[in-house]
Amino acid sequence: MPLDSNLFVLLVRPRTGAPGHVDFLVDNSGAGKADEPAYEARKDPSTGTITLVDPYTSAILGSSNIAPPPLPNASPNPKHRLISLDSPPAEVHLRNKAGLSWAWEMEWEEVQYVWTRDIVSLVGGDRGYTLSVSRRPDPNYPVVVFRPEKKGGNIEILDYNLARVEPAIADRKGLEIAALLALSHFIDHLFSLPPSTAASPALTPPIASTSSAPPPSTKPAPPVPSPPAPQRKKSSLRTLATNEVEVTDPSPAALDAYCERCLSLLSDPSLLYLVLFASPSPRSNETVPAVAALAERVKRRRYKQSGEEVRLFVDDSGAGPVADGGKRKEGSTPALAPPDSLKIYLSRIDMSDLLPNHHRRPSMAPVRGVINLDEGRHVSSEDGKDEKAEEGGWRGWFGL
């Protein structure tokens, strides 16, 4: 659902039973009304041209296709698309930006815009897309946000950010149509609906014999049972999300696979952080130390390969103090028992304020601050000052 009920939201819905058609509907769920059609996108399977039309009059509003090559005998570049608008006519060039990160650039009324892909914390391979105003060297700010859903997705038009564009946008409707045509190219998979499974034809009954002789009494052969399908062995490497890896097997071979998986994910510069964790299980005494050792190993390998120093942040909320009969001295730090679960963040950004055990809540008992593995220190949750880690620290749990 949108962040603000006042935002203009379009629902993206592939048309059932009509491959190549995607409807853009105005979301009226907040007003208790039925969703109204706003645009209709059509894709020509032979040419790949995407056309945006008015759902009521079928008037063509614009189209998108691969830009023609500059020379007569040159081959077209799939990383350069031409968006053509009607009434009034206009052309927008959508180009893939060179570099390691995924980005497409476009220009509207002498203002540069950039499309970026959101891949963090998205499950199932779906991707979100954001159109932002490019303001080098200042930070960009978004104006259009697409979020995928099971039914298709939703598009938020951020009017408060569109009002910040300088110079002011003269044709906002044209920018909206151009943005929808560019987005239709990125969500091309929504135009190809899987064909419905055809019902198996009914068996035709045998034709009765015209001969007066009775048919021979033959019993039909019993059906041969089909062999059971082989069961696939579950892999110990189970990725819950794009940036999450759960350690369930502490064997050396499995840890090698976990390490290669983590290094592969960190090779994407758009990935802000990676989560390694072990859930409570009968093997927690083996998987929890394996997570700690794996985090150290990935950090060293990443630095050796690329020179990048990733940060490590620990969420050890599964640890608890050892019962001491209430004889602990006032002001002393209680001894910590090995946790039954552990979560470690390998991050390119500072995540101190994002971890659940960083700030103390007034209604709850005091919680321990975040552990910085690089410096071996605690960040106090009370006054923000650094305090020296207790003897042994979290490394003492695992012998590191």
Structural domains of the chain sorted by starting position, each given as residue range(s) with its CATH number in brackets: 8-191 (3.20.90), 237-322+336-398 (no CATH)
**Is pLDDT of 171 > 70?**
yes
CA separation for the pair 21, 339 (Å, rounded): 53
Two tokens at 15?
Answer: 């048309």
CA separation for the pair 286, 345 (Å, rounded): 19
Q: How far is CA 202 from CA 31, 150, 224, 225, in A?
A: 48, 34, 21, 21
| Torsion of the alpha carbons at 116, 120, 122 and 128, rounded to the nearest 10 | -10
Give residue-wise pLDDT tens across range 45-93: 888 899 999 999 999 999 999 998 888 788 888 899 999 998 889 999 9
**Is pLDDT of 9 > 70?**
yes
Question: Which residues pair with residue 365 across a beta bridge?
Answer: none
Give residue-wise pLDDT tens across range 90-135: 999 999 988 778 899 999 999 999 999 986 444 455 679 999 999 8
pLDDT in the model for residue 87: 83
**Is pLDDT of 381 > 70?**
no
Of the listed ranges 184-193, 194-203, 299-308, 354-363, the least confidently predicted one is 194-203
pTM recorded for the entire structure: 0.49
